[in-house]
Amino acid sequence: PRRVTWRRGLDLNDRALRHVVTGLGNGTVRETGFDITVASEVMAIFCLATSLENLQQRLAKIVIGESDPEHGRRMQITAADLKAVGAMTALLKDALRPNLVQTLEGTPAFVHGGPFANIAHGCNSVLATQTALGLADIVVTEAGFGADLGAEKFLDIKCRAVGLEPAACVVVATVRALKMHGGVAKDDLAAEDTAAVRRGASNLRRHVENMRGFGLPLVVALNGFRDDTPAEIETVRAICNDLDVPLEPCTHWADGGAGAEGLAGQVVALCGSHTAPFQPLYELDLPLAEKLRTIARKLYRAADISLTPGAAKTLANLERDGYGRLPVCIAKTQYSFTTDPDAKGAPEGFILPVREIRLAAGAGFVVALCGDILTMPGLPRYPAALDMRVDAAGALHGLD
């Protein structure tokens, strides 16, 4: 292979490994980088595989690089070309079986697979979901980060890929987050501020509109915090009334399952009420750039996308090489509808800058990296490790 685009994965946050040169002194110097494991295409494949056989088929399609051009054209090199599929499957075959765990109250749950919700589709494995659907009347899937990231990918990628039809949607909100979207600084969130809650409602409103666009009945779950005041909760209730969406304040953080019983009742009711068919946000027949533009405009409310010259070229090559019908997976910050983590509330009319396109042929989607998003996080300024210690008795301190 002439160009190797496959990056190494490592389960450590080591920012110095984001961009490295390898192979010094041994004749094959390459420019590459490390991603954390959950950002690897292998994790996404693992979570979208419908069987051991399907896992192998997906692994085989991973594109790891390109050959030198022959007859004027570079050829893609896949994991199958490297004969790596058998060994990769051998490593993953036991992990592929969903592991059933339980909550503190004994409710069964699957915790199985953890793809990033930016570079990948952000929700647990298809096998876990399908197994659960065979065992229970109602299965809840957590689709992480904001609904513009997690829910969109759960619906447009995972559900579409395997024919799942979700019956209802829970949008989770908090008073604190609404106040932040209303402009309150992080250190001031404890003080009551109903005006800020009202200002931040623009963000919640958009998520509700977005989810309705998929044809899903929905409820807003208000995740309670100790500092929430009755006036603030009533403000949220008024907002939801305006939006004609039910609100269920939840206190499971304090009361366990009992604190979410109201929400559970609402969800059961909504599941029965489901009439309109679920529909993805975009058709797979659109050109790749149009799919990105559709998400940017309809969900994020951007005026348009901008493509770096490299991103535009990669998109064109992917269309030419037959990947044009894949869904797209947008990697951007979860803190804003834009690529600027500080742009709170519900910004409109901005440009979504697409800086790089990566193919995840095995996972079955095309990733668009937008803004500054990173696939190998760094440590916080004050690493938690600095406070860890083991005392003379062998007890461990500093993990809380």
The residue ranges that bind a copy of itself (CB under 8 A) are 2-3, 8, 10, 14-31, 52-53, 56, 83-87, 89-90, 93, 306, 308-309, 339-340, 351, 353, 355, 371-372, 385-390, 392, 394, 396-399
Residue with smaller CB distance to a copy of itself, 185 or 386:
386
Q: How far is the CB of 83 from a copy of itself (least distance, A)?
A: 5
CA dihedral over 369, 147, 250, 98, signed as positive or negative: negative
Q: How far is the CB of 21 from a copy of itself (least distance, A)?
A: 4
* Helices 52-61, 41-48: inter-axial angle, 10-degree rounding: 150
Q: How far is the CB of 41 from a copy of itself (least distance, A)?
A: 18
- Helix %, strand %, coil % for the chain, to 5? 40, 20, 45
Q: How far is the CB of 4 from a copy of itself (least distance, A)?
A: 10
User: Comparing C-alpha atoms, which of 272, 372, 288, 298 is closest to residue 322?
Assistant: 288
Residue with smaller CB distance to a copy of itself, 45 or 171:
45
| Cβ atoms of residues 304 and 297 within 8 Å | yes
| Cβ atoms of residues 139 and 268 within 8 Å | no
Q: How far is the CB of 148 from a copy of itself (least distance, A)?
A: 19
Which residues pair with residue 63 across a beta bridge?
78
Residue with smaller CB distance to a copy of itself, 53 or 227:
53
Residue with smaller CB distance to a copy of itself, 83 or 226:
83
Burial of 120 (0-12, 13-18, 19+ CB in 10 A): buried
| Cβ atoms of residues 220 and 175 within 8 Å | no
Strands (E), 260-350: 304-307, 328-331
Task: Tell me the one-letter amino acid at 373.
Answer: I
Residue with smaller CB distance to a copy of itself, 294 or 308:
308
Neighbouring C-beta atoms of residue 163, cutoff 10 Å: 7
Instruction: Give the dihedral of Cα atoms 27, 31, 34, 35; nearest 10 deg.
Output: -140
Give the three-state DSSP class for 169: strand
Task: Tell me the one-letter amino acid at 65.
Answer: G
Residue with smaller CB distance to a copy of itself, 104 or 386:
386
User: Comparing C-alpha atoms, which of 278, 279, 277, 280 is closest to residue 365?
Assistant: 280
Q: How far is the CB of 206 from a copy of itself (least distance, A)?
A: 23
| Cβ atoms of residues 165 and 159 within 8 Å | yes
Q: How far is the CB of 127 from a copy of itself (least distance, A)?
A: 13
Q: How far is the CB of 64 from a copy of itself (least distance, A)?
A: 14
Query: Which residues are within 8 A (CB) of 372 and not within 5 positions of it... i.e. 6 or more apart?
Result: 333, 339
Residue with smaller CB distance to a copy of itself, 23 or 256:
23
Strands of the sheet with 218-223, listed across from one edge = 169-173, 218-223, 247-250
Q: How far is the CB of 390 from a copy of itself (least distance, A)?
A: 4
Residue with smaller CB distance to a copy of itself, 18 or 325:
18
Q: How far is the CB of 275 from a copy of itself (least distance, A)?
A: 42
Q: Report the C-alpha gap between 360 and 323 in whole angstroms.
A: 10
Instruction: Give the dihedral of Cα atoms 43, 48, 290, 319; nearest 10 deg.
Output: 80
Residue with smaller CB distance to a copy of itself, 106 or 394:
394
Residue with smaller CB distance to a copy of itself, 353 or 364:
353
Residue 373 phi, psi (nearest 5): -55, 140
